[in-house]
Amino acid sequence: MIISRFVAVLLALGILSGCSSMGVEPWERDVLAKEEMQLTTDAIEAATDDHIYFSKEASSGGRGFGGGGCGCN
């Protein structure tokens, strides 16, 4: 349990530092700016599914944050 948690945090940190070499220039975000490329495209549909599966299964959530998109401002 503790080990898997530790690995998860390490993975996250590793990704963060390794990530400094990955990515695109600010002007190459045209595709990422599209509505259909956002992590959550339909908020109500996502919330509906989360609620249904939470009510019928033992797991819940997991998803959730920002990032991606046009990278503007």
Partner 1 sequence: MRQLGLLSAVLLLSWQASVADNATFNITDHEGKVVVLDFWASWCVPCRRSFPWLNEMHAKYGDDGLVIIGVNLDQEQSEAEAFLQEFPAQFQIHYDESKALATQYEVVAMPSSYVLGPDGEVLKRHYGFKVKKQEEYEAAIVAALEKLK
Partner 2 sequence: MKNTDKISITAALTAATCTLLGTTALQPVQAQEEPGWDFNTSLLYYAESDDRVQDLSLKTLSRRTFVDDRILSLGLTVDALTGATPNGALPQSFPQTFTKPSGKNTFTTPPGEFPIDDSFRDTRVAISADWEQPLGRLYAMNVGVSASAEYDYLHLGVNAKLSRDFNNRNTTLSGGFAFASDQLDPVGGVPDPLTQMRNVRDDDDGNGGRASNDSKEILDLVLGITQVMSRNFLMQFNYSYSDSSGYLNDPYKILTSVDPITGEAVPVPQIPGTEGPSHLNYYENRPDTRSKHSLYTQGKYYMNGKVLDASYRYMTDDWEIDSHTIDMRLRWPIGDDKYLEPHLRFYTQTAAEFYQISLVDDGQPLPEYASADYRLADFDAITAGLKFGWKTGGGNDMSVRLELYSQSGNVSPSQLIGSQADQDVYPDMDAIIFQYSYMFGK
- CB contact at 8 A, 26 and 69: no
Which residues of this protein are in contact with partner 2, per CB under 8 A? Answer: 1, 4-5, 8-9, 11-12, 15-16, 19-20, 22-26, 28-48, 50-73
CA 54 – CA 48 distance, rounded (Å): 10
Which residues of this protein are in contact with partner 1, per CB under 8 A? Answer: 25-30, 33-34, 70-73
Q: Tokens representing 6?
A: 């530790």
Pick 38 or 50: Cβ nearer partner 1: 38
CA 1 – CA 70 distance, rounded (Å): 38
Nearest approach in angstroms of CB 10 to partner 2 is: 11
Q: Return the one option of partner 2, partner 1, none that residue 3 interacts with (CB less than 5 to 8 A, by type).
A: none
Three-state SS for 40?
coil
